[in-house]
Amino acid sequence: MTYSFQHGDDLPREERFDWWCEVSNRTVSPARVSSEHVNDFSAHLETLALGGARLTSLVFSPVRAQRTAALINSSDPEEYELVLAVQHEQRIAQERRDILLAAGEFALRSTSHPYDCRTPDRGGPGREDSRVLTLRLPRGVLPLASDRVDRLLVRNMSATHGTGAVLADFLRSVLRQGPALTPVAAQRIGATAVELAASVFAHHLDADAQLPPEARHRMLLARIERFIEENLPHPHLTPAAIAAHHHISLRFLHALFRAQQRTVAATIRHRRLERCRADLADARWRAVPIQAIAARWGYTDAAGFSRAFRAAYGMAPSDFRHRADRDGQRLSRGPSWGPGGSGAAYRRHESGRAPRPRRADDGSAGGTGPRRFPRGS
Cα(49)–Cα(186) distance, rounded to whole angstroms?
7
DSSP code, position 123 = -
Q: Can you say whether the dihedral through the CA atoms of 177, 178, 184, 186 is positive or negative?
A: positive
Give the residue among 256, 241, 265, 255 at the shortest CA–CA distance from 376: 241
CA terminus-to-terminus distance, the chain: 36
Phi, psi of 339 (to 5 degrees): -55, 130
Cα–Cα distance measured from residue 136 to residue 359, given in angstroms and rounded to the nearest whole number: 48
Sign of the C-alpha dihedral computed for residues 317, 323, 324 and 326 taken in this order:
positive
pLDDT value, residue 295:
95
> What letters, b where the CB count within 10 A reaches 16 and e where it falls short, cover 354-375?
beebeebebbbbbbbbeeebee
Listing DSSP states for 17-68 in one string gives: HHHHHHHHHHHS---EEE-S-GGG--EEEEEEEETTEEEEEEEESS-EEEE-
Contact 67, 46 (CB under 8 A): no
Distances (CA, A) of 366 to 6, 225, 262, 362: 49, 18, 19, 9
User: Is residue 109 a contact partner of residue 154, using CB atoms and an 8 Å limit?
Assistant: yes
Q: Count the residues in the chain.
A: 377
| Phi, psi angles (nearest 5°) of residue 186 | -65, -35
332 backbone dihedrals φ, ψ, rounded to 5°: -85, -15
pLDDT in tens, 136-180: 999 989 989 999 999 999 999 999 998 999 999 999 999 999 999
Which of the residues in the chain have pLDDT under 70? Answer: 1, 122-127, 328-377
Reported pTM: 0.69
Report residue 96 CA to chain centroid gap. Answer: 31
Provide the 3-class DSSP secondary structure of residue 7. Answer: strand
**pLDDT for residue 87:** 93
The H helix count followed by the E strand count for the chain is 13, 12
Beta strands 64-67; 79-87: pairing state: unpaired
What domains are there in the chain, each with its CATH number? 3-211 (2.60.120.10), 235-350 (1.10.10.60)
Output the pLDDT for position 121.
77
3-state secondary structure of 158: strand
At 123 the pLDDT is: 61
- Report how far residue 115's alpha carbon sits from residue 331's, in angstroms, rounded to the nearest whole number: 46
Residues forming a β-bridge with 80: 110, 137
